[in-house]
Structure 1
Amino acid sequence: MKYIHVDSVEPGEHLGKTIFASSGAILLSKDVQLTVFMINTLRRIGVTMLYIKDPNLADVEILDVISEETKQLVMKRMGETFDSIRSGKEINSRSFSISIDQLLEEVMKNKDVLIQLSDIRTKDNEMYVHATNVCMMSVLVGIEMGLSPGQLKELAIGGLLHDIGKIEYSCDDGSEDLRRHHTWRGFDVIKNKREYSLLIAHVAFQHHEHVDGEGLPRKLTGEQIHLYAKIVAVANVYDNLLFDLSQGRRMLPHEACEHLMALSGTKLDHEVLTHFLKTISVYPTGTSVRLSTKETGVVVGQHRGLPGRPIVRIVRQDANIKELEVKEMDLAKLTTVFIEQVLV
């Protein structure tokens, strides 16, 4: 598969990964042959990037930390949870807990897989996909930092619910009233739920605090910010850099990683960030790149210890013999070859 912009998709190509709605329902199934109408509809609902099948990359497997089935289940339970809060009903904490246990089990099993945030987002599902990704990334960082199973579950719940205050938060007049900030709203919602610890409420409360004391809502510094909130803060910023247009131009993963490093010790905790960067695929599998050799190819493999040095497949048409020439370049071994540009 290749990961390309929706404007580069041609009618007749086949979708590589399923697109889900916020409820977890399938909007468009993997393997479907795309039509002009489907492509235009994807643009209309806010899809920008998607996976497309490529016969030259048929053997390339996109490894995910959690399966599509688990993502679908978690998003469904999140939708139910948010609906309960909107209507003032009790949260079905048991079903929510079961979905989190399933997510944790898969993350633990796939903890050595580098994160590739390649979910196909729509205006309808973006809040749920964002929360699921923040949760997944936070748990992987927690594993790196040696947190216990109980702590990982608290962190996972905090990651999923970190933006829960947004479902009640509405401020169109630019007011800086901190009591209206979604972190206060989220804290107020979670702290009143007996099934969740106060630490989980503090993730919603503190994930916009900065270690230099310039964050919101209380301008906490360093050790005043709980570790869970520091972890969720890094995951939250990274996901927003890749997908949230309110941040400005959407960044590519390698650009986002550089941006995060520039925030180390000011906006983000240095130790947490160091662990986070070990879990990220800087050049995700399926990405088209141009090398310093001026050859273009597609990333087909990763190295856990060297996320910035992937394996790149070069496919060329030999005009004389009318056959495809295929070679793979392992940048972990070819130390003088570099990725010059990501092609989107």
Structure 2
Amino acid sequence: MKLVDIESVETGQILGKTIFSSNGTVLLSKGVQLTVYMISTLKRIGVTTVYIDNPMYRDISIDEVLSDETKRAVIHQMSEMFEALRSGKSFNSKAVSQTVDEMLEDVMKNQNLLIQLSDIRTADNAMFLHAMNVCMISSLLGLNMGLNMLQLKELAIGALLHDLGKLGAPEVQEGRMHHSWRGFELLKNKREYSLLIAHVAFQHHEAIDGSGAPRGLTGDDIHTYAKIAAVANAYDNMIYASGEGRSLMPHEACEELNAMSGTKLDHEVLVHFMRIVSIYPNGISVRLSNRQTGVVVGQHRGLPGRPIVRVIDKEGDEAVGYAEVDLAQNPTMFIESVLS
């Protein structure tokens, strides 16, 4: 499959990756033939890119840390929890904990995979997918940084619930009105959770240099869990443009994160993050330094910037074959630009 801008999708093309609704059910299944109505609906609900099944790239897969089954469970649980809080009720701490256990099981099983964020985001599911991604990335980081299982569980729950305070929060957030403070107040009263879980929500917008919110903490005053969640939160926000500006490609986001090392974000956490993120994920189109264009089809753990690229041989407009260029084996060749 290949990642394609929604404006370039044509009627009759085959969807390469399932799209989930805001309650965890399937909105459109992988393998469906796209119609004019489907494409129009995807645009209307805020989808900007989709994965398309292409005969030349049919064998390209994205090895993901979380299974579709786990993703559905997480999105469904988040939907139920947010609905309860909107109704003024308490959420089910035990159910959230069980969902996190399922996520950690996937993370432990797939800990050698590189991070590739490929889920298609809509206006309705964006908050839930963001929480899921921050939890997944934080858990992988914690695992690579040597946290034990108890610490991983605390970190994962805190990361999944890091934006809990946004429910009902005002647009302008200062002091005790900041969503980080509101999230802390909600979580600290959960007897089933340790206070450290609440501090992930409390401190994930603090910055190493003291310029963060809500309290302007610096350095060691910020808990390690929060430093980890801050990196995961920043990366997912950049990839999906949850703030102002355009969505960044992974290589651009990594450059932005590195520029924040030691000021906004913790240097040690970033070092570990750069070892486990796919800078050029499978399915994206790239131009190589020899001016050939192709699609990324494979990764090397430990060498995230040197993927395997499939270059298509054409006669006119017809594809007649392909060759794969392993950049790990071709040190003088590099990716010049990303095309999608």
Length-normalised TM-score, structure 1: 0.96
Shift of 1:105: 0.4
Structure 1 partner of 2:36: 36
User: Contact 2:114 / 2:276 at 8 angstroms: preserved in 1?
Assistant: yes
Task: Verify: 1:273 aligned to 2:277, yes or no.
Answer: no
Which structure 2 residue ranges, 5 or more long, are not aligned? none
Structure 1 partner of 2:335: 339
For 1:204 and 1:24, the matched residues in 2 are separated by: 24
Shift of 1:308: 0.4
Structure 2 partner of 1:252: 249
RMSD of aligned C-alpha atoms? 1.3
1:325 pairs, out of 316, 321, 330, with: 321
Q: Give, as a single letter, the amino acid of the residue that structure 1 aligns with 2:212.
A: G
Structure 2 partner of 1:180: 177
Shift of 1:10: 1.1
1:54-65 aligned at under 5 Å gives the runs 54-65=54-65
Q: Give, as a single letter, the amino acid of the residue that structure 2 aligns with 1:17.
A: K
Structure 1 partner of 2:195: 198
Measured against aligned partners, the alpha-carbon deviations of 1:45-101 in whole angstroms (never above 9, x if no partner) come to 000111110101122221000011101101111111122222232322222222111
Question: The residue matched to 1:246 in structure 2 has which SS?
Answer: coil
User: Identity over aligned residues, as a percent?
Assistant: 60
User: Segments of 4+ in structure 1 off by > 4 A?
Assistant: none
1:233 pairs, out of 230, 235, 238, with: 230
Q: Give, as a single letter, the amino acid of the residue that structure 2 aligns with 1:136.
A: M
Structure 2 partner of 1:311: 308
Question: The residue matched to 2:90 in structure 1 has which SS?
Answer: coil
For 2:281 and 2:83, the matched residues in 1 are separated by: 34
Provide the aligned length of Structure 1 versus Structure 2: 340
Structure 1 partner of 2:285: 288
Task: Verify: 1:76 aligned to 2:73, yes or no.
Answer: no
Shift of 1:247: 3.0
User: Contact 1:281 / 1:302 at 8 angstroms: preserved in 2?
Assistant: yes
For 2:168 and 2:186, the matched residues in 1 are separated by: 10
For 1:208 and 1:49, the matched residues in 2 are separated by: 28
Measured against aligned partners, the alpha-carbon deviations of 1:93-114 in whole angstroms (never above 9, x if no partner) come to 2222221111100111001111
For 2:125 and 2:319, the matched residues in 1 are separated by: 43
Length-normalised TM-score, structure 2: 0.97
For 1:255 and 1:152, the matched residues in 2 are separated by: 29
User: Contact 1:292 / 1:339 at 8 angstroms: preserved in 2?
Assistant: yes
